[in-house]
Amino acid sequence: MKVLGFDTATDDTVVAATDDGEVLFERTIGPGEDGRPVHSETLLSTMNEGAEALGGWADVQRVAVGTGPGTFTGIRIGIATANGLALSAGIELAGVSTLEALSLPMRNGIDPVLAVLDARRGEVFAALYAADGSVEWAPFAAKPEELALRLADLERLPLAGGPGAVRFRDELTRVGISIAAPEADIHHLKGRSVCELGAIVGRVDQSIPLEPTYLRVPDAQLWLERDAGNGST
């Protein structure tokens, strides 16, 4: 199956193209000079390059997209782009958990593994997976200290990876969690992982739009509620 996969839930824009598991194209685009993600500026052009590697859009059999959790704006860009492709080009869509895709390169027979994203606001998004990919802990949001307490109750401590594991390394290693060096590859989401997970999804119902995984309300809503509260005093 020819799969074009992408994810915009994190600060990186990741895109890959695979043909029956063979990686034909893969690119990761980090934030711009101002530190902000460049999803809206780079996603479509990079996806076009990935599609060309597969022979053109007419040959793309499925588009796999990361559905989060992650940044509200990033997820919204990814889901809107994917749903737009389904409507305009009639291409099959498959939603993929961003945390599950992050965990894929970590497994390698290691059981369990913990995928951790930096959720901002001093929190993380995390999920725990067994070596076979089964979900031990479904994706959730928590303070790093809360995550550390939850991990301390496990009989077998996991390998942790992802931007959140790097940022909150001190809190997690304090309870015995093993975390690779900050420059390690496992801390970065891979487009090929999105493709791999998207390819094994069963029959996709194209009548049902993809739904995002937010886990919590966006910052903008919190600001509105705060401003409304300030105005009422």
pLDDT in tens, 100-133: 999 999 998 878 999 999 999 999 999 999 989 9
Do 115 and 202 sit in the same domain of this protein?
no
Of the pLDDT bands very low, low, confident and very high (cuts 50, 70, 90), residue 228 is low
Give DSSP secondary structure letters for 183-198. T-GGGS--HHHHHHHH
Residues 6+ apart with CB under 8 A from 193: 5, 101, 102, 104, 105
Residues 139 and 92 grouped into a single domain: no
Q: Are residues 182 and 194 in the same domain?
A: no
DSSP letter for each residue of 119-143: EETTEEEEEEE-TTS-EEEEEEEE-
> How many domains is the chain built from?
2
Taken in order 126, 165, 161, 148, is the CA torsion positive or negative?
Answer: negative
Of 60-64, 191-195, 203-207, the least confident: 203-207
The token duo for 121 is 């606001």
Q: Do residue 111 and residue 171 come from a single domain?
A: yes
pLDDT at 85: 87
25, pLDDT greater than 70: yes
67 and 79 in a single domain? The answer is yes
State pTM to two decimals. Answer: 0.91
Percent of the chain with pLDDT over 90: 80
Note the pLDDT of residue 202.
75
- 58 and 87 within one domain: yes
Residue 110 domain-assigned (yes or no): yes
Shared domain check, 148 and 135: yes
CA distance 16 to 175: 36
Q: At 140, which CATH number?
A: 3.30.420.40
* Domain membership flag for residue 232: no
Q: Specify if 233 maps to a domain.
A: no
pLDDT for position 219: 53
